[in-house]
Amino acid sequence: MNMAKLEDEIAARRRDIFTDSYSMSIGELTNLYREGELEVHPEFQRIFRWDDLQKTRLVESILLGIPLPSIFVAQTENGAWDVVDGVQRLSTILQLQGFLTDDNGSLVPPIRLQATNLLPSLAGKEWDNGSDESISFTQAQRLDFKRAKLDLKIVKRESSAETKYDLFQRLNSYGSQATPQEVRSCILIASNRGFYSWLSELASDPHFLATVAISERLVSEQYHLELALRFLILRKLPEGLIATIGNLGDFLTSEAVSMALDPSFDEETEGNAFRKTFALLDDAGNDAMFKRWNETRGRFQGAFLNTAFEVVGMGLGFNIDSYANAEETSAIDRAKSFWSNDQYTTGFATGVRADARMAKSIPLGRQLFAK
């Protein structure tokens, strides 16, 4: 019975996936990019960053004929290709030739290569320096480079949208130095760039940043975007569903994509609720709101805590229509009462799974701020 069920599941999922595979020369891929038929997502460059030595090693591999991993692309509705895996490889190839543009449409300065163990004379070389042939590739070297072939795996447009996003997440999560939110951001950019821009602007709200008060490193890793998504997704989630979330990261990605693709999602209403919540919290207690209250010392202390964000931030967010100003929220007093009551804080120890913690913290916060 179980074997038959597994076969049915495999067959059903295979029907959702349509792929093709063939080789293309670098010259052909470059032409597709220049004609607007290959999208390498310049926004991703801030996330999947390579230094000049990594770029040089790729160029070295191509010049020496060393096989490279496949490039994965997804075919869009208009037939163009979205790069799913291989953004930095293709970006490096385009930058070397002087064709790569940034997200403002401006040309990215060409690479000046570095020496490698196998090709030390690559040091200082460029694709084509019009004023100094000594630091340029020769015509023969440029032609050899453009004729080198790359293996492409194409997810055809007949495949489900879910398949494309799942493929992106799989390929860019395993072994990647990107954070889960950075990968999630790329998925959102690929699914709905306008939604990602809206989310990014929301997460940059000064009242929000003042209250969460996370480190510059966490901001650079886009953790503030993840917190904004948590608020948007979990604020009104029915309590019966919270305990069924499972892996929080996977849940956030799935719900964020659904939100981005939902034409009925009301950005104005959700954005207003977000901004009002954190404006009132900023006025009430600034960066104290999401820290632990120390009864002995009579102050909030320590770093940002997810538990406090779920209880205070989402608790007020759930009831935000009931409040007009910061004084009315009594947010500081409510936060103190939460941390001072053992009945409330039992079960929030470090190491508790996020879904198990939130099954307690979010309903508690809603009750705490209910009028």
Read off the tokens for 270.
């959700």
Residue range 317-370, pLDDT digits in tens: 999 999 988 888 888 889 898 888 776 666 665 667 888 889 999 999 999 999
- pLDDT grade for 83, boundaries at 50, 70 and 90: confident
User: Using an 8 Å Cβ cutoff, are 33 and 96 in contact?
Assistant: no
Q: What angle do CA 204, 180, 203 make, to 5 degrees?
A: 10
Whether the per-residue pLDDT at 174 is higher than 70: the answer is no
The span from the CA of 322 to the CA of 318, in Å, is 9
Q: At what angle do helices 248-261 and 193-203 cross, to 10 degrees?
A: 120
Of 132, 119, 111, the C-alpha closest to 60 is: 119
Whether the per-residue pLDDT at 297 is higher than 60: the answer is yes
**60-73 mean pLDDT:** 92
Kindly tell me the burial class for residue 133, based on how many C-beta atoms sit within 10 Å of its own C-beta (0-12, 13-18, 19 or more): exposed
Instruction: Kindly report whether the global pTM for this prediction surpasses the value 0.85.
Output: no
| Per-residue pLDDT at 175 | 47
Of 265, 267, 278, the C-alpha closest to 323 is: 278
**163-169 mean pLDDT:** 66
Contacts of range 170-174, beta carbons closer than 8 Å, 24 or more positions apart: 171/72, 171/84, 171/85, 172/48, 172/85
Residue the block writes with tokens 């198990």: 356
CA 186 to chain centre: 5
CA 156 to chain centre: 23
**16-35 mean pLDDT:** 89
The span from the CA of 73 to the CA of 19, in Å, is 10
Of 149, 152, 125, the C-alpha closest to 66 is: 149
| Per-residue pLDDT at 160 | 62
Mean pLDDT of the chain: 87
**Which 3-state string (H, E, C) describes the chain?**
CHHHHHHHHHHHHHCCCCEEEEEEEHHHHHHHHHCCCEECCHHHHHCCCCCHHHHHHHHHHHHHCCCCCCEEEEECCCCCEEEEECHHHHHHHHHHHCCCECCCCCECCCCCCCCCCCCHHHCCCECCCCCCHHHECCHHHHHHHHHCEEEEEEECCCCCHHHHHHHHHHHHHCCCCCCHHHHHHHHHHHHCHHHHHHHHHHHCCHHHHHHHCCCHHHHHCCHHHHHHHHHHHHCCCCHHHHCCCCCHHHHHHHHHHHHHHCCCCCHHHHHHHHHHHHHHHHHHHHHHCCCEEECCCCEEECCCCHHHHHHHHHHHHHCHHHCCCHHHHCHHHHHHHHHHCHHHHCCCCCCCCHHHHHHHHHHHHHHHCCC
Of all residues in the chain, the percent with pLDDT exceeding 90 is 55
